[in-house]
Structure 1
Amino acid sequence: MALWRCNIRVSWRTQCLSLLMHGALILLILISPWPVNYSLIWLVLVTLVVFECIRSQKRIASRKGELRLLAERRIEWQGEEWLIVKKAWMLRFGVLLSLQQANGKKRCKLWLASDALSHGEWRHLYQQLLYPQVTFDEDK
């Protein structure tokens, strides 16, 4: 039984922040004074930052789909079951979850931005992570 469930959308704030950071880094590389014989290094650096920006945007776009918070610090996401291995790092505009696959093979960090969820879903997730395992026993 899921304690919480939501369909996560792509976060436009996270995409904009990533673009701004990569753009600032490219601008810094472009306006820095480079000696003439360093033009190849300059070109390689700009190319690497552009490709990292594209990779970052693809990674952000892949963080969508149904997410279910299960009992005992478990999450089902993208068809796999994950364990929350560390306490969630919670800010008012996002939550960082440190996850490990249930079979122990793979680890990842999942950033859930508040704009990727509806306001009610965000509040409920935040509450579930802040006060874990608060359940009401109907038998008593």
Structure 2
Amino acid sequence: MLAILEKIVEGKGEDGDIELLLELADTISATALCGLGKTAPNPVVSTIRSFRDEYEAHIYEKRCPAGSCQKLKKIVIDENLCKGCSKCSRTCPVTAISGKVKEPFTIDQTKCIKCGACIATCPFHAIKEV
């Protein structure tokens, strides 16, 4: 169950993972020999019941509505607010930001480590975490 949950929060969840978690929870509860084992899957089952829409967002939309899954965070530049000053590009430790001066810059999501240095540097508040 832990491996499936980790896969989901990393944005690698697949169709059927929620049902598999519920099936595993039933199996664990039914076959455990002690009271603790029988209740071990309860936190996962409870979160699925209460927050199924968030599980589905992680799996199908590859986003975290709560904004707490680091691997699903995305930092973007609003082209309408970016003035092309290049401060963000010079601050980025992995050179994930590129562009031409006086034109909107862009972030290469495959390089971005989501450190947020660019957000703090942008004087125009054009960079946001979504």
TM-score bracket for this pair, using the shorter chain length: 0.3 to 0.5
More strand by share: 1
**TM-score, normalization by structure 2:** 0.33
Higher relative contact order (CA 8 A, sep 6+): 1
TM-score for both structures, normalised by structure 1? 0.31
